[in-house]
Amino acid sequence: MVEFRRDLYRGTAADYDRFRPPYPPELIDALLTCVRGRGRALDLACGTGQLARPLARYFNAVDATDQEADAVAFARDKARRAGLAHVHWRVERAEDLDAVGAYDLIVIGNAFHRLERSTVAIRAHRALLEDGVLALVWANSPLRGDAPWQRAANRLIDEWRRQLDVVDRVPKGWRSAVDADPSEDVLRRAGFRSFRRDEFTASTHWTIERLLGFVYSTSFLNRAVLGRQQSRFEHAWRETMAGFSTIDAELSFALETARA
Ligand SMILES: C[S@@+](CC[C@H](N)C(=O)[O-])C[C@H]1O[C@@H](n2cnc3c(N)ncnc32)[C@H](O)[C@@H]1O
């Protein structure tokens, strides 16, 4: 089994929250249409609350858990300031979920591939009410693509990852492990049924500085990884990206749902 480090996002909470594009409202709407009850929802591997917060408008209570303490602290503080008293934040590994028949909806945003998928699928199935919904939500990165600015940005990022000797922070082989045992099969074995996938796109416009913020929200080259080299990287980034006046990216999002 491919195992991810447990501290990959340490130090990224503020950048993650500020620079990750939100999930499109149409995706949230589509998610809500397939969920029958509005009692309790759970955001597993919640990060700083990219799904918990929009869902909070619609559910009586929302639990949100993540293994990284600083993401949870950031999210809790932001929600408190927004008056979202019915969202309960907890530091917890998704694999340790032990609720039984508690939730109308469990969401996992951009994270299922990072988890021990079989364990989480079995526990999520047990934690859902009958007919409850598990939703895997996905977003791609603005850095993915073949535009000249994307190629230039990726060349620089790759060069710095090599220089800093951090290429292996994200385990090699995670994609082939997922391909070898697709998530739908994992969920089916755990008892889920009624699979559905919907895709969405959103046009996004970036500046050089906002895209730098996005890089700092990643697990592979954030401020903690750069450490004392941060200002040298920023200098190289601005020099490399200065030639690109238009930085537009079409982002794709996916919503995969299954019923307990
Ligand atoms: C790419 S971020 C996604 C954050 C947010 N859910 C979103 O949709 O943007 C991945 C998150 O998964 C969390 N994570 C990874 N493995 C985990 C695990 N085994 N249990 C709980 N959280 C985990 C990380 O700490 C990180 O916050």
Residue pLDDT, tens place only, 174-186: 889 999 999 999 9
Q: What percent of the chain has pLDDT over 70?
A: 100
Return the structure tokens found at 174. Answer: 């995670």
Q: How far is CA 249 from the centre of its chain?
A: 18
Higher pLDDT among residues 245 and 158, named by residue? 158
Higher pLDDT among residues 1 and 113, named by residue? 113
Position 109 in a domain:
yes
Contact 110, 138 (CB under 8 A): yes
Say which residues have a Cβ less than 8 Å from residue 217's Cβ, sequence separation at least 6: 12, 15, 16, 18, 19, 20
Q: Determine which residue's CA is closest to atom 8 belonging to ligand 1.
A: 109
By most ligand atoms within 8 Å of CB, the mutation choice from 17, 91, 114, 221 for ligand 1 is 114
Position 113 in a domain:
yes
Is residue 1 predicted with pLDDT exceeding 80?
no
Is residue 210 predicted with pLDDT exceeding 90?
yes
Ligand 1 atom at minimum distance from 16 CA: 9
- 3-class secondary-structure state, position 118: helix
- Cα of 128 from ligand 1 centre, angstroms: 20
Ligand 1 atom at minimum distance from 43 CA: 6
- Cα of 89 from ligand 1 centre, angstroms: 13
Position 151 in a domain:
no
Distance CA 113, CA 130 (A): 25
- 3-class secondary-structure state, position 131: strand
pLDDT at 172: 85
Q: Determine which residue's CA is closest to atom 13 belonging to ligand 1.
A: 45
Tell me the pLDDT tens digit for each residue of 145-160: 999 999 999 999 999 9
Cα angle for residues 51, 57, 62 (degrees, 5° grid): 60
- Cα of 170 from ligand 1 centre, angstroms: 13
Distance CA 8, CA 221 (A): 10
Instruction: Give the pLDDT mean for 3-8.
Output: 90
- Cα of 111 from ligand 1 centre, angstroms: 5
Ligand 1 atom at minimum distance from 116 CA: 19
Position 199 in a domain:
yes
- Cα of 43 from ligand 1 centre, angstroms: 10
Q: Which residues line ligand 1 (CB under 6 A)?
A: 9, 20, 45-47, 50-51, 66-68, 71, 93-95, 109-111, 114-115
Position 214 in a domain:
no
Instruction: Give the pLDDT mean for 102-108.
Output: 98
Strand partners, 66: 91
Position 154 in a domain:
no
Position 104 in a domain:
yes
- Cα of 245 from ligand 1 centre, angstroms: 33
Q: Determine which residue's CA is closest to atom 12 belonging to ligand 1.
A: 45
Position 237 in a domain:
no
Instruction: Give the pLDDT mean for 1-26.
Output: 94
Domains contained in the chain, number: 1
Lowest mean pLDDT among 1-10, 49-58, 192-201: 1-10
Ligand 1 atom at minimum distance from 92 CA: 21
Domain CATH for 126: 3.40.50.150
Tell me the pLDDT tens digit for each residue of 121-149: 999 999 999 999 999 999 999 999 999 99
Instruction: Give the pLDDT mean for 197-203.
Output: 97
* Residue ranges making up the domain that contains 22: 13-141+168-203+250-259
Instruction: Give the pLDDT mean for 36-57.
Output: 97
- As a whole number, the mean pLDDT across the chain is 96
Ligand 1 atom at minimum distance from 115 CA: 19
